[in-house]
Amino acid sequence: MQIEHLPRVVASLQPSNHPYLNGAWTPQHEEVTALDLDVIEGAIPTDIDGIYLRNTE
């Protein structure tokens, strides 16, 4: 497995109780490129070809 970590983003957001800034919606400050990941169960459909982007605040 090959993983590339890009430089962390310096956050300018202050801590908040806003529901879209906490829990599953916590902003991500790190970008990772991971290649050749192992599938641990089942199979990935052959027609899937793309990237996964997490949309956060």
Determine the pLDDT at residue 1: 73
Question: What are the pLDDT digits (tens) for 11-39?
Answer: 787 888 888 888 888 887 888 888 888 89
Q: Is the pLDDT of residue 41 over 60?
A: yes
- Strand-strand pairing, 32-35 and 2-5: antiparallel
Backbone phi, psi, residue 24, to 5°: -65, -15
Determine the pLDDT at residue 40: 93
H helix runs in the chain, sequence order: none
Check residues 57 and 9 and name the one with the higher pLDDT.
Answer: 9
Q: Is the pLDDT of residue 52 over 80?
A: no
Q: Would you place residue 56 in the very low, low, confident or very high pLDDT band (cuts 50, 70, 90)?
A: low
- What is the number of other CB atoms lying within 10 angstroms of the CB of residue 27? 13
